[in-house]
Structures are given as structure tokens and as C-alpha cells.
Amino acid sequence: MRKLTYLFLVLFVWGCIKSERPNSSERVYLKSKDLNFTESLGKAYAIDVLDKYLIIRDYQAETKLTIFNLESDFKNPIYTGYTGQGPGELINPGPTIVESNKFLLYDASKMKLFSFYMDTLMVPDYKPHEAISIMEAGIIDVKKIGKDLFIAVGVFPDNRFALINSQGETIERLGMYPIELQEGVPEYVRGIACQSMLTTDPKKNKAAVAMRYGEHIQFHVFDLDKYTAELINEHHVFLPEYTTKNYNGSPNFSPTEETRWGYLSISSNSNHVYALYSGKPQVRGTNFYQGHEVHVFGWDGELINKIELDKQAFSVTCNEHHLYALYEDENGYEIAEYEL
């Protein structure tokens, strides 16, 4: 009898503990507030938020960045990031790194990080400062980690990450890919199949890296004195398959209509990571590159819940209080705001 009573108490306590844990299957439905821009966006493809500013990477006639002040009714946007091959001009603008009073933008064609200072952007014909020339090729995403270092993911042949110093030099390669090499498949094919995007918490030296062709997110913590990366958690449902095709005699990764897309965009604040998810197969003529489901994680890597948006988005960004989603409708490109 005592044993049965003890077992009942253990099960009761365990049930109470479990009931206090976040339910990862819980769905939260959010209704958007449309941000009514007075000026139309160009062909937009990504957004970031810095304090009171929305930074939109888009293609205008002469510029590649449109910046709106969230406190000014979206009037008088700043058009910057002039197209060209000269000093301070952009060819192929990629990921951004948001800091307190500026943002850095990586141009993959020039292999440089450019600094845009918010207090001088209004200067006519403003050109950003060419901050760092990065020597690592094949970068897809790069973010700040710690005070003076950068962490990059890309089409790398061996390790998952490149740790880069403030002079643009790769000082260490870290992390392992979640899929093994297959016989006869070159290493770069794995890098393309595993292409990912990342977000970091520089103060905690943590990074979350989300895969384009898989429902797979890894969480790492970095020791920046020893130049090591420790995998602390991962969310795994499916990984990309090797689908190769010969191009000019060389095999390369070639998605098919059975290839499922995983994560489209990832952003974070001090407490949570928000990953926009597709899960759709790459069928021609469908919106596989859009999604309305956002997976919410803690920085410990635990899945907290899943948000369902009322828009099909292809890029998200967040601050402590709001989530912003870039989407397209019959009127063109728009941005929706969600209260967190």
C-alpha cells in the first residue's frame, strides 16, 4: 500500500511539472496590423528592424535599400545603398547585422561589410563606409558574435561555421553538418544542400542556425577564447536529400518537385528565436517560398509554440515587442506588424 501511495505521489508531482512546461504543439493565432506605406516598395525580399526603423532590402531604380521610420506614419522614406561597382556602392546586398546606431550589410559580390550610420543616412547621396573586406568565399549569412567577432554560414566544404575576426580573416572553422557525405558526391554539394541562415545573441555568445531545405534548427554556444562551438540543442523533423544533377560535367545540388522547403527566415530578440517555416514541396507555380507558420524557440533551443500568421510571408524580423512580416498581395509588397 505504501509503495502504491508513493508511486501515485511521484506520478502526481511529475504531472504537475510537465503541465508547467510550454506545450510545443500549442498554436497561437496572430492578427496583423498593416503598415500603410505612402511610398511603394521596390521588389522587396528581406526586412530588418533597428530601433524605430524598418530596413527593407529591395530593388528600386537606383538603390537597394528603403528605410522607414516607424514613428513617422511611413512618410518620407530614405532610399540608400546605391547600385554600382564604385566605392560605397552595392552589387549584391545580402545579410545585415543590426547594432545600436548603425547596421552592417554584407555584399556577397564585393565580399565586404558596409557600415550604414543612422544619424547620417539623410545626407544627400550618402555612401556607406566600407568597413571590412572578408576573405571567406561562399558566405550565405553572417552575424556578430561576442564583441569583435563574426560567425558565418555558407557553402563551406567541411565545417558548418567560419569564425571571422574584425580584419575579415577566418580564424577557425567550427561545427559539423547534420548529414554525412555520400560516396561520389563532392563536399560543396552538401554545403549547398545544407544552406542555412542564422541569428545570434551576441551577449550570450549563442547562435541559432536554420536550414533552407529541412525542418532543422541547431543551437550552439561559442567559447570565443578557445574558439569552440558546443551544440546545446536541435529541433529536427527532416533533412535535405541529396538530389544532384550534372551541370557542364560537374554534379550539383538540384531540387526537385519532391524537395521540401524548411525555414525561410529567422530573427531573434533577447528571449526568443522566431523562424518562418514553409514545409511545402518545390512545385513549380506554387508559393513554396512563402509561409504563414512561425516556430518560436527559447535560446535554450526548446520549441515553445507555433504562431500562425494571417499572411503568407517570405521574411520576418522582430524586436522585443513586435514581429514584422514581409509579404506580397495584389497591390505589391507590404509589411504586416504583429504584437508579441
CA-based torsion, 43, 48, 50, 51: positive or negative: positive
Domains of the chain: 28-67+139-339 (2.120.10.30)
Yes or no: say if 305 and 314 are a contact pair by the CB < 8 Å rule.
Answer: no
Q: Which long-range contacts (CB under 8 A, 24 or more apart) does 70-75 make?
A: 73/38, 74/35, 74/36, 74/37, 74/38, 74/39, 75/38, 75/39
Q: With bands split at pLDDT 50, 70 and 90, how would you rate the model's confidence at 324?
A: very high
DSSP labels for 82-112?
A: EBSSSTT-BSSEEEEEE-SSEEEEEETTTTE
In this predicted model, what pLDDT tens digit does every residue of 220-257 receive, in sequence order?
999 999 999 999 999 999 999 877 777 776 777 788 88
The contacts of residue 123 (CB under 8 Å, 6+ apart) are none
Whether 15 has a pLDDT exceeding 60, the answer reads: no
In this predicted model, what pLDDT tens digit does every residue of 275-315 receive, in sequence order?
999 999 999 999 999 999 999 999 999 999 999 999 999 99
Whether 14 has a pLDDT exceeding 50, the answer reads: no
Q: How far apart are CA 288 and CA 311, in angstroms?
A: 14
The percentage of residues in the chain with a pLDDT greater than 70, rounded to a whole number, is 92
Helix, strand, or coil (residue 6): helix
Yes or no: say if 94 and 106 are a contact pair by the CB < 8 Å rule.
Answer: yes
Structure confidence at residue 7 (pLDDT) = 36
Determine how many CB atoms are found less than 10 A away from the CB of residue 72: 12
Helix, strand, or coil (residue 28): strand
Determine how many CB atoms are found less than 10 A away from the CB of residue 129: 15
The percentage of residues in the chain with a pLDDT greater than 90, rounded to a whole number, is 69
Q: With bands split at pLDDT 50, 70 and 90, how would you rate the model's confidence at 131?
A: very high
In this predicted model, what pLDDT tens digit does every residue of 145-156 receive, in sequence order?
988 899 999 999
Q: How far apart are CA 198 and CA 219, in angstroms?
A: 10
Q: With bands split at pLDDT 50, 70 and 90, how would you rate the model's confidence at 71?
A: confident
Yes or no: say if 295 and 235 are a contact pair by the CB < 8 Å rule.
Answer: yes
